[in-house]
Structure 1
Amino acid sequence: QLQQSCHIQALESVRCKRYWNISIHNIRYHFIPACGCGLPTLPPVLSRVVAGEDVRPHSWPWQISLQSDSSGRWQHVCGGTLLSSEWVLTAAHCINDRYNYRVELGKHSLKTSEEGSVALRAAAIISHEDYNILLSRNDIALIKLSSSVIFSDTIMPACLPDGGVVLPHRAPCYVTGWGRLSTGGALADVLQQAFLPVVGHDICSQPDWWSVLATDKMVCAGGDGVTAGCNGDSGGPLNCQNPDGSWDVHGVVSFGSGQGCNVLQKPTVFTQVSSYIDWMNTVMTNY
């Protein structure tokens, strides 16, 4: 019998990071503990390049593609974050009640059939009851998958921060997604990552930045006029590394400037995950 001590946080977002590989009667099993999160088998190759770049395949294994059948076939509409074997986090503005949705996990290239990827229908979608589409407030939603996904080297859950945690100004984080590579451009085929330092709320809420649109339940990141989240990145994660090397998802891509993807002093704005831990726990308990 194997045991390990875990410091359990909300949503089983915990700090135990070891993986058990066990051979029984010459059959090899790869066990990922229920408390494992935030440490990819293949760590991301980090750089602070200007603009985004292709990621190392499967180095952000909690990144999902949310797809709708709005055009008669499945198409990528938003990103999202795998939280557990049954639950995915995304943005409320990604959801339209007229359409059906599925979640594709373990993907690197959206156009290629890849070993280790899986597509599951959404069994339930719960948007925040106080979501305000005009002000982009409470822009958060949870998706319950139609069946439990099996964790692997390509599919792992993210860690989440403790409730109420606020990132400091210039905290180094990365946004990931298959969003448009430029304003009005095509969606990326291969998953992209971009370095986005956090902009403190006192700066982001200034009149020449986002002013009152940026609330204390949001995280701003970027704003250098070069690098930003773009259309199609919506709902995806803002990934920030802990001192122990694990990654917490602190944000859900919510909105950017209507003038384009990379506008000076108009950073990408994320729903601040730490402000919604209690809401997420309540939803996941009741469904």
Structure 2
Amino acid sequence: MFIRLVFGLLLVCGAAMVTDASECKDTTIGKCGILWCHWTREFAIKYCPKSCNYCHLLPTPTTTTTTTTTPAPLNWNQFTPCSRSCGGGTRYRVPQCTLNNIDTCPRVYQDCKEQPCPLATCPTGENHYYGLRGSCCKPSPSDPCGGNPRPVAGRVFGGQDAMLNQWPFMVRLEIEIAPGQRSLCGANIISKEWAVTAGHCIDGIAANKITAFVAYGTADQLQLSISQVIIHPDYLYPGIDIALIKFSTVLTYNEYVSNICLPNGEETEDDKKCYIVGWGSVQPTPVLLATTLQQAKVRKLPYRFCEQAYSGRTFSGDLTDERVSCAGRVGGGVDACVGDSGGPLACQRCSSCSWYLAAVTSFGPVQCGPAGTPGLYTNVAGKNEAWIRGIVTGLQSGTFGCQ
């Protein structure tokens, strides 16, 4: 799997708040304009709280003295601060253009601070987030979804083999598109009867032409037929590229077969580390499909970067930050590829170690993994999740997130 930036938003749950507005002031050099307010919420709260109306979110002052580095003002061709201090983030500069407006001229993005974060010491009963070392999460064994029996160690194009029960919600779809011709896609188990996939994988395909495999490659592998295919009523490719398939047999959950959560209100912030998974090609050309499930760690990238990358394409008008996310690296090298469509952009909750389906693998450049053109993923949260819940019953309820 040639597993194919929205800026970092660091959220603090339960922080005490400033009650005296007179304590609130901006700390940047120069003017706190609208660009700074939209850089990241963390940045705006820290450096421009007064101008960006974030005074109410400032922590209550304590007697502890801390030293912070004041960022330089944003000028033409000057890089913004990195959105992360370690573990991989994004920054950009704005070359002067004919528009002569630093807010609207095209941006040049760059990966930054990719060195590993210092090893965090997790409290008793907590684990490191999978594939990360700088933060910890609380396992939620009672959750009805999102379990992962094994810690994640690798990456998909630019990826490596996953362990047999690493991603128990993954489904392999083999689709007969013509006599003797089959295409390959992924899908994601969300209940014992239903899975989410990409609309373009099964658009125009009869249910009896689709074969699903769960626990693929294990002794518990199951081959299932599909009884129903439902494409989103507002289907667009790419854009609203999402569909549901219903298994002809009710699944039994075990070590190798279980479901992934839906977002349930969880917001996937920019530069969050997530995973893409699939059996797609491990090289751009010629196509070489993986025989073993592949996994890759990616960052959710800024929508502005995504928008610039696909500007001028015939479908660019169908793309919005509500509909799609981009993921990978600005510099490329890790991506989804042919055969990975329908698989997950899977992320862990901010409040626990449980996994949720942030988005569905949809579209990307033919070359797979080039610099400057990330893969496109159809967002699940919002209208798409409401559509799913209108069809599939018994899904996890409640609202999650740390805002």
Match in the other structure for 1:7: none
Match in the other structure for 1:218: 324
Counterpart Cα distance in 2 of 1:123 and 1:141: 14
Match in the other structure for 2:114: none
Number of residue pairs matched by the alignment: 244
Residues 173, 184 of structure 2: 8 Å contact kept: yes
Alignment pair present for 1:190 and 2:292:
yes
- 1:168, distance to aligned residue in structure 2 (A): 1.6
Q: Is the strand fraction higher in 1 or 2?
A: 1
Alignment pair present for 1:105 and 2:214:
yes
- Three-state SS of the structure 1 residue aligned to 2:391 is helix
Match in the other structure for 2:245: 143
Alignment pair present for 1:283 and 2:388:
no
- Three-state SS of the structure 2 residue aligned to 1:46 is coil
- Three-state SS of the structure 2 residue aligned to 1:80 is strand
What is the identity, as a one-letter code, of the residue corresponding to 2:342?
Answer: G
Residues 16, 36 of structure 1: 8 Å contact kept: no
- 1:115, distance to aligned residue in structure 2 (A): 1.3
What is the identity, as a one-letter code, of the residue corresponding to 1:129?
Answer: P
Indicate how the Cα distance of structure 1 residues 90 and 203 shifts in structure 2: closer, same or farther if over 3 A, else same. Answer: same
Residues 159, 248 of structure 1: 8 Å contact kept: yes
Unaligned stretches of 5+ residues in structure 1: 1-14, 20-34
Q: Structure 2-normalised TM-score? A: 0.57
Counterpart Cα distance in 1 of 2:306 and 2:289: 28
Residues 198, 220 of structure 1: 8 Å contact kept: yes
Counterpart Cα distance in 2 of 1:49 and 1:142: 24
Counterpart Cα distance in 1 of 2:170 and 2:324: 20
Counterpart Cα distance in 2 of 1:261 and 1:166: 27
Counterpart Cα distance in 2 of 1:183 and 1:16: 37
Residues 270, 300 of structure 2: 8 Å contact kept: yes
What whole-Å deviation, never above 9, does each CA across 1:76-134 have from its counterpart, x for those lacking one? 61001000000000000001434511211111x4xxxx31111111100000111123x
Counterpart Cα distance in 2 of 1:57 and 1:236: 16
What whole-Å deviation, never above 9, does each CA across 1:3-40 have from its counterpart, x for those lacking one? xxxxxxxxxxxx99437xxxxxxxxxxxxxxx521112
- 1:252, distance to aligned residue in structure 2 (A): 0.3
Counterpart Cα distance in 1 of 2:224 and 2:140: 26
The list of structure 1 runs, each at least 4 consecutive aligned residues, that deviate by more than 6 angstroms after superposition, is none
What is the identity, as a one-letter code, of the residue corresponding to 1:177?
Answer: G
Alignment pair present for 1:119 and 2:223:
yes
Residues 44, 56 of structure 1: 8 Å contact kept: no
What is the identity, as a one-letter code, of the residue corresponding to 1:79?
Answer: G
Give runs of aligned pairs for residues 82-93 of structure 1, distance below 5 A.
82-93=189-200
What is the identity, as a one-letter code, of the residue corresponding to 1:225?
Answer: G
- 1:49, distance to aligned residue in structure 2 (A): 9.4
What whole-Å deviation, never above 9, does each CA across 1:158-198 have from its counterpart, x for those lacking one? 011124x4422210011000010011221000000011111
Residues 257, 266 of structure 1: 8 Å contact kept: yes
Residues 275, 297 of structure 2: 8 Å contact kept: yes
Unaligned stretches of 5+ residues in structure 2: 1-137, 394-403
Give runs of aligned pairs for residues 1-287 of structure 1, distance below 5 A.
17-18=140-141, 36-41=144-149, 43-47=150-154, 51-70=158-177, 72=179, 75=182, 77-99=184-206, 100-107=209-216, 109=217, 114-133=218-237, 136-163=238-265, 165-184=266-285, 185-205=287-307, 207=308, 209-211=309-311, 212=316, 214-216=319-321, 217-223=323-329, 224-243=331-350, 244-258=352-366, 260-275=367-382, 276-284=384-392
Indicate how the Cα distance of structure 1 residues 98 and 278 shifts in structure 2: closer, same or farther if over 3 A, else same. Answer: closer
- Three-state SS of the structure 1 residue aligned to 2:389 is helix
- Give the structure with higher Rg (CA): 2
Counterpart Cα distance in 2 of 1:233 and 1:162: 25
